[in-house]
Amino acid sequence: MDKEAQARIDVWKYALGFVEMEAVKCGIELGLPEALESHGKPISLSELSSAVACPEISLHRIMRFLTHNGIFEKQRPNPGSELFYAQTPLSRLLTRDNLGTFLLVQDGPPGPRFSLTAQDSKAGKGSGVEVSPEESKMWSMEFKTYGKMFQEFLASHAKVATSAVIENFPESFQGIGSLVDVGGHEGTAIGMLVKAFSWIRGINFDLPHVVSGAPILDGVEHIGGNMFESVPKADAVMLMWILHDWSDELCIDILKKCKEAIRKSGKVIIVEVVIDDDEEGNRDEYTGARLAMDMAIMGSTLNGKQERGIAKEWAQLLHAVGFGDHIIKHMKAIESVIEAYP
């Protein structure tokens, strides 16, 4: 791996370093070390879910992160058999009668923006199934007090992610005359795509108050609206870092509007963190950053999740929308590209 690629991975690790502590504290609060210890042998996800009263979907995400980081150990007796979890010397130190309580008192109480607690997990946070009246903390007024800094983050991320997409998948934009970037904020991503592929007419689509302050960009039209109501018509629609914020039900609503906006020969381009299944052969140097991002999304939203990146999860979601086919394209970056076809 070249130095630039390693640097990108390191930045994600530094930026998401707090997530590991939150996830470990959540595991201690749930009583995971005690549950495994009292079980006396490796335990299945369903058994562990019953033992700590946490939904399997949420618990699977937490255990996936903790096992990747060496807190617990995964065991599979035979290829293709059920996955079990086992204690490690480290997890045994995290029981409350050892050093577990010491970690719990670090950093004070969970912060108002990013937190992952046992209470949240038991209530189903992170399952991505139930719709809540306050679907995402990230868009609450509390979070918007950090609006300027957050917008700067979105713009900088859009530059990095879009550069990777342009470099790895230029063929994805062949034959596209018009492209809508849904939730494109000030138009960073669509501006870069139009510059790289001059034949594209770009549409930056976001809430009216967002696009009202967007800069003038060559080849890009700013349109205000609501993605839950309608999306501007175009040959293709792009969703970059949008779907992970929402529950399955609301993702289906968003994708339906996107599907309605494209012609029959068009497509929806989704740029998201994709997490493959738990098999070791599917891991690469970005796996740790992807799992940390999943914990960050789980902590900062009510029902968002990265886990839809698993092939069967995407198939189920896109099938529910009515897409006929889709393809997942991986690249050496934290994100991947999913193309969905009517």
Instruction: Identify the CATH number of the domain in which residue 117 sits.
Output: 1.10.10.10
- The answer to the question of residue 211 being in a domain is yes
Element (H, E) at 261: helix 248-261
Average pLDDT over residues 213-228: 96
CA distance 22 to 19: 5
Q: Which residues pair with residue 239 across a beta bridge?
A: 182, 270
pTM for the model:
0.69
Listing DSSP states for 72-110 in one string gives SEEE-SSTTS--EEE--HHHHTTSTTTTHHHHHTTTSSP
The neighbour count for residue 304, using CB atoms within 10 Å, is: 26
The string of pLDDT tens digits covering residues 99-133 is 887 777 665 544 444 566 777 777 776 665 554 54
Let me know if residue 171 belongs to a domain: yes
Same domain, 166 and 275: yes
Lowest mean pLDDT among 104-118, 190-204, 271-285: 104-118
Mean pLDDT of 137-158: 60
pLDDT at 243 exceeding the cut of 70: yes
Q: Give the domain-ending residue among 68, 94, 125.
A: 125
CATH number at residue 286: 3.40.50.150
Our count of domains for the chain comes to: 2
Note down the domain range covering 231. 141-341
For 34, the token pair is 């005690």
Q: What is the pLDDT of residue 235?
A: 98
Is residue 103 situated within a structural domain? yes
**Residues known to be catalytic:** 244
Whole-angstrom Cα distance, residue 237 to residue 258?
6
Quote the pLDDT of residue 27: 94
